[in-house]
Amino acid sequence: MNTLDEIAAQLQGYDPHALRADAATRFLTHLVQPIAETRSVHLMDALGCVVAEDVISPVDVPAHDNSAMDGYAFVGAQLTAHTPLELKVVGTALAGKAWVGTVGDLQCVKIMTGAVMPAGLDTVVPQEMVACNGETITIAADTVRVGDNRRRKGEDIGLGQPALQAGARITPAALGLLASLGVPQVRVLRRLRVAYFSTGDEILSLGEPPREGAVYDSNRYTIYGLLTRLGIDVIDMGVVQDDPVALETAFRTAASQADAIITSGGVSVGEADHTKATMRKLADGDAGVVFWKIAMRPGRPMAVGHIGKTVLFGLPGNPVAVMVTFLAFVRPALLQMMGCTPRPTPLLRARSVAAIRKKPGRTEYQRAIVTTAPDGSLFAQLTGQQGSGVLSSMVQANGLLVLAHDQGDIGKGDEVNVLMFDGAI
């Protein structure tokens, strides 16, 4: 693992007290390393895991030429331009059972979707595109072309070809793909382990009676959901009070069990609690942890570093700031630790429904609802109050407007970048 000073030296103009959001992302790319431990798991336990080695197909997919439609299979060379083709039906090919027989000139076989193509036949006409008269069908001119509606053997994946490459995250579609190969188990990187806890004397756990000046802890539940969506093994350590002994115990326990630690609260400049002091102590002083003031809104304060081999992410305490900093910085870093092949989340382009005030010199993440107009264009409308403690506007949103560091005011109808939530939170 690179030291924080070594990483900082690679970033031109690095300033932890006025850090650009893109510089924070580059810093974390250098800080974290993929885990190396692997294991074999059953497909039913593989969702969200990362493939450790290329999965080589032991079969052709599909295994035979087969029909992509319910229809009639025939020799396509019999088609002639501008002239109908009349064929006699001489049998039926069902899925899962090869049809045994021969097909002569001007003959065809009724065939079901997925059924093996009878020998010598190469074209299928859908059943709804023919005229039937007893045992004879008529195909109108220019209805199909030679080879239509036939799936070729191995056209999806060929025998001996990579079906999934190392670094791929196993999605529901990937599970189906592996199952289609007859593969019962897959070699994956072990799941990342992340411990998390909230800090602060003002934080109440659910079930505790209300008291003046205290707030119920929402961040633990948000972070739990964000981590679970990633397929991570989560270690919930609850709420830790602003007590040096309690904090040190929590950090040591977390570091002994997890690959990464996420905390919320206690990293703002000038805060009087013990969280920052404990982080410094256990991370070997400033050599192991750095406190950032990121030029962003919301989510300005953040701490990063390591305790031994465990990576540390100290997030701000406000609920929306926690989610934004997680999505912008922590989620990509965790995916890298999981061993995922880098694949930056694409930003959509949408037109702003209204003017938005924006100061150059910071990246802003505005909560918005993105809708599709009848002509297919995308429009984005802010969900209301954008304060870092306003959770309701985050719940209503389906994405974040990402307003770049050097960007100024947005006019009505101007295009903006949008980070959509689906699949992330």
- Could you read off the pLDDT of 75-116 as tens digits, one per residue? 999 999 889 999 999 999 999 988 999 999 999 999 999 999
Integer Cα distance of 73 and 79 in angstroms: 12
Integer Cα distance of 420 and 399 in angstroms: 4
What angle, 0 to 180 degrees and rounded to 10, lies between the N-to-C axes of helices 21-31 and 331-338? 20
8 Å CB contact between 332 and 361: no
- Total number of residues shown for the chain: 425
Q: Which amino acid is at 214?
A: A
Q: Which of 242, 246, 208, 189 is nearest to 52 (CA)?
A: 189
Q: Which of 414, 372, 368 is nearest to 393 (CA)?
A: 368
Instruction: Locate 224 and state its tokens.
Output: 């739990």
State residue 269's pLDDT score. 64
State residue 271's pLDDT score. 56
pTM, rounded to two decimals? 0.89
Integer Cα distance of 288 and 276 in angstroms: 12
Instruction: Locate 269 and state its tokens.
Output: 């400049």
Whether omega before 346 lies within 30 degrees of 0, making that bond cis, reads no
Low-confidence ranges of the chain (pLDDT < 50): 424-425
8 Å CB contact between 169 and 46: no
Q: Which of 409, 418, 423, 346 is nearest to 380 (CA)?
A: 418
Place of tokens 């693992």: 1
> DSSP character for 326?
I
Task: Give the number of C-alpha atoms closer than 13 A to the C-alpha of residue 24, restricted to the C-beta side.
Answer: 32
8 Å CB contact between 126 and 113: no
Distance of CA 137 to the CA centre of its chain: 49
Residue 349: count of CB within 10 angstroms of its CB: 11
Q: Exposed, middle or buried: residue 235 (CB in 10 Å: 0-12, 13-18, 19+)?
A: middle
C-alpha distance across the termini of the chain, in Å: 29
